[in-house]
Structure 1
Amino acid sequence: MATKSRNARGQRHHARCQPGNPFVNADQHVVLPSPANVRELEALTPAFIRWFRAGPGNPDATFVVEHLAFFFRFYPRDEETSSITALHPGDVAAKMASLLLHTVQEGIVAMYCLMHFVEFLRDSSRWTGDQESFRAVHGLLTDFICIDLRAARQSLDRAVRRG
């Protein structure tokens, strides 16, 4: 029986789950924190808080802003063209998927917070991207939220049947 070299065996199990930053891209490149995104969010925060508190049953805007700051710290940014007021659907999908895979609870919270932020941008006419990208981002977040709600309902249904 032929034996494999040490390198061949070692390469087979090369990829392993590594603890660390949940904002690692699928291609294993780490996205560096973006202070520009956070500064842009800070500039929008007073208007966002006023908008958020005006909604029904939305008393704690600071919780949402904290989670948005966490999300936008690692949202990719091209200094010449990007802005958090014109989110790219592909980038949002990648970050949401990464969050949900690494920390489900944080991912779910980030989805809901980002949905509020995107609606704020639309309602306050601060969305600077095109309408197609808005619909794509909004639709993506809606789909993620619907999946979460279906999973929660199924879990509740199972608990009711058992109990």
Structure 2
Amino acid sequence: MLRKSDIQPLVKSVHTQLFQAQKRVAVALCGKGNIGSSWLSLFKEQKSELEKRRGMSFNLVAVIDSQTYWFDEDGIDEQQVLARYEDEAIEYQGDIWLQRLAALQGYDEGVVLDVTASAALAERYVSIAEHGLHLISANKVAGSAPSNDYHAVQDSFSKPVVTGCTTLL
């Protein structure tokens, strides 16, 4: 029996390594309170060094709170988030921000950064994985969830992409 896998991610990876100077990473920050505000300050200070060290370009494309979100695929200036959020944000509509992040063109990867204590967001972790996004979480709710929920999240991020199997005789 041989695994049959989608080769598109491999082709994209080889193309990126050969023809693109930097991998582009879209970042969605969930939470703009004390921790989110501190992260924005650190991101502003460390972004250039982080990009040099990793050989990647990191762009903040979304800021999400429990009621509203601000999404800009061209990037959001981390220095302007707190000053402009109320004017730029629109009403939260389920997982629209998540779908938009997953469908972004021009980015190689998408990352959801959860610095909230939101149980509702923690419940979306499996969906985040299913959309092919990465997750960085400081949310203790997910870590202290019942073991079935906790393991479902772990499993969703560790599953390899398998499109089918072929049996050879």
Pair in the same fold by TM > 0.5 = no
CA radius of gyration, larger in: 1
Q: TM-score, normalised by structure 2?
A: 0.31
Larger proportion of strand = 2
Larger proportion of helix = 1
Q: TM-score, normalised by structure 1?
A: 0.32
